[in-house]
Amino acid sequence: MDTPINRTTGRNALVIALIVGLVIGGTGVAAALTFTNLNTEKISLFGADTASSDLNIKSQDTSVYSEDRMVVRLTAENTDADNPHEADVTVQILDSSDNVVAKMTKPASVAAGSQQALTFDFNEPGVAQDYQRTYIVVDQTS
């Protein structure tokens, strides 16, 4: 006598296989989304081998007047007592993801052993609203 085929067992196995496949696939997608959401980090390619600058930023003051206006005041100091030096000073306004919201560059010409005040007035829509921190770059030209 022939043994009857149990169709319920076959369907149950197929349903279980589909559920396991969906769980594994869903886990893989979730892991892929998690791993691609990494924060970027700004690094300097020459960070380990930088030349010493004669111009340094001695002080910084940031004032927020409205969500569209903020002022950054810097004092550039020439540590060389014998020679005047010049530089391009750039102030970048960064948001919480370290994206540049606004930036401004001004020249600085500082006499030997003295200081120069620099004022950066940012008037742009939402500049202070997105402000998280400043990033200052001193590019000494002479």
Q: Which residue has the tokens 């043994």?
A: 3
Dihedral over Cα of 106, 55, 92, 73: its sign: negative
**Both tokens assigned to 136:** 């200052």
Dihedral over Cα of 104, 106, 110, 116: its sign: negative
Same domain, 68 and 8: no
Please give the chain's pLDDT, 142 residues, in tens.
555 555 566 667 777 777 877 777 666 655 555 544 444 445 444 444 445 678 888 889 999 999 999 999 999 999 999 999 998 999 999 998 889 999 999 999 999 999 999 999 999 999 988 889 999 988 888 8
**Both tokens assigned to 1:** 């006598």
Specify the pairing of strand 55-66 against strand 100-110: unpaired
Residue 47 in any domain: the answer is no
- Domain residues for the domain of 13 are 1-38
Q: What total number of domains does the chain contain? A: 2
Same domain, 95 and 34: no
Same domain, 72 and 33: no
- Closest by CA to 103, choosing from 88, 118, 93, is 93
Same domain, 96 and 130: yes
Same domain, 33 and 60: no
